[in-house]
Amino acid sequence: MKMKAMVYKGPKELQIEEVNVPEIGDRDILVKVKYCGVCGTDIHIYQGDGGSFEVTPPLIMGHELSGIVEQTGKLVTKVKKGDLVSVDPNDMCGECYFCKNAMEQFCLSNKGYGTTVDGGFAEYIVAGEKQVFLFREGTDALTAAMAEPLSCCIHGIDLCNITTGSEVLVMGGGPIGLIMMQLARMSGAAKVILSEPVAEKRELGLKLGADLVVDPIKEDLEEVLRNNCKNINTVIECVGNPKTIENAIDLAGKGATVMLFGLTGPDAKINVRPDVVFKKELKITSSFINPYSFERAISVIESGRINVTDVITDIVKLENAISVFENPEYRRKGKVVVKMF
């Protein structure tokens, strides 16, 4: 059987091709992909600066997917044909030092759907049973496709030290910033401030629950925070820009956690004054992929308590997916999802 897929052939080279539908093993599941989101990581891979993992073309990218179970291997018991599922793309070995010490994100022989093995920008994907997560009947498939980015955000939030009554500054109102903002509220923040230069994104931020939105270009963010907050306990940087990261460190309150969530290029550097870190006892941290958070992402989605679909600005067909990679305008607006059927 053949299927259509978008194949990554090397930096700046994508092609829609007919390829074989992969065979499934006894513990595998063949998923008919419904939606697959375009992630910042995919763009980094496309541009040739690597993502979280080493990528060897040819490869079908795509790791933010939902789909319908088409076929199950002989030993599969978790799901059946017709079920709505998502796939946790990061398949850890369970045997190495890091897997054995509650740090599976650093697994030494991780398999990554869409990064080291074929992913979701195709009509079908084969995934091992343990990577497949079932949604409650009636869950919307577009929402389900957001499980993976949400799981990454949940791991980030786990490391943000947000406590009840915290004041949280989110820098960057892209899809990730808008999800982080909502998770911060869910985690007990009393005040969430969103800093974002694009007016439409600030508006969406307000709709999704920001207590205050600031245009960091036209307004003096520091002054706004001084007038409206007691102490910024957590800053979540979702831009991945060295200048914004430096600002995040300056704007953080006393005893604050600064979460560097936005991905910079591999060679980016920041200027930090240790004196500032010292006087404020800052905890500067970051978050790598999605360990132990996929199940909770499913729960959060099923709870309906956060809105993960309003951050989606475009839904395109596979035939038009290459233009999403070629044209930065698409991504500047927000999240793009490829609709397979």
Segment contacting Zn ion by CB under 5 A, of 102-110, 163-171, 196-204, 267-275: 102-110
Residue 87 interacts with Zn ion (CB under 5 A): yes or no: no
- With a CB cutoff of 8 Å and minimum separation 6, the contacts of 195 are 169, 170, 171, 172, 173, 213, 214, 215, 216, 221
Distance CA 85, CA 244 (A): 36
Q: Which stretch binds Zn ion (CB under 5 A): 32-40, 122-130, 223-231, 297-305?
A: 32-40
For residue 241, report the phi and psi dihedrals to the nearest 5 degrees: -115, 130
Selected from 93, 134, 224, 272, the binder of Zn ion by CB under 5 A is 93
DSSP string, 193-206: EEE-S-HHHHHHHH
The token pair at 248 is 């995040």
Between 120 and 253, whose beta carbon lies closer to Zn ion? Answer: 120
Computed over its alpha carbons, how large is the radius of gyration of the chain?
20
Minimum CB–partner distance for residue 289 and Zn ion (Å): 8
The nearer residue to Zn ion, 39 or 284, going by C-beta atoms, is 39
Report angle CA 265, 271, 275 to the nearest 5 degrees: 145
309 included as an active-site residue: no
Nearer Cβ to Zn ion (105/233): 105
Does residue 39 belong to the site contacting Zn ion (CB under 5 A)? yes
Based on CB atoms, which residue is closest to Zn ion, 96 or 117?
A: 96
Under the binding rule (CB under 5 A), the answer on residue 30 touching Zn ion is no
* CA–CA distances in Å: residue 222 to residues 167, 217, 228, 234, 246: 14, 12, 10, 14, 13
Query: In this structure, what token pair is assigned to residue 77?
Result: 């018991």
Q: How far is the CB of 182 from Zn ion (least distance, A)?
A: 18
Spatial contact of 303 and 166, defined as CB atoms under 8 Å apart = no
- The binder of Zn ion chosen from 96, 186, 198, 277 (CB under 5 A): 96
* Candidate segments 9-17, 38-46, 221-229, 232-240, binder of Zn ion by CB under 5 A: 38-46
150 binds Zn ion (CB under 5 A): no
When the beta carbons of 7 and 99 are compared against Zn ion, the nearer one is 99
Task: Give the sign of the dihedral formed by CA 39, CA 8, CA 49, CA 106.
Answer: positive
Nearest distance in Å: CB 252, Zn ion:
26
Nearer to Zn ion, 62 or 205 (CB): 62
Cβ-Cβ contacts under 8 Å for 86 (sequence gap 6 or more): 65, 66, 67, 132, 133, 135, 144, 145, 147, 148, 294, 298
Among 31, 84, 99, 176, binds Zn ion (CB under 5 A): 99
Residue span binding Zn ion (CB under 5 A) among the ranges 36-44, 137-145, 310-318, 319-327? 36-44
**Residue 107 makes contact with Zn ion by CB under 5 A:** yes
Question: Count residues contacting Zn ion (CB under 5 A)?
Answer: 7
**Closest approach of Zn ion to the CB of residue 258, in Å:** 22
CB of 144 to Zn ion, least distance (A): 15
- DSSP β-ladder status, 167-171 and 234-237: parallel
Active site residue 44: yes
Instruction: Provide the binding-site residues for Zn ion, judged by CB under 5 A.
Output: 39, 41, 92-93, 96, 99, 107
The residues annotated with a catalytic role in the active site are 41, 44
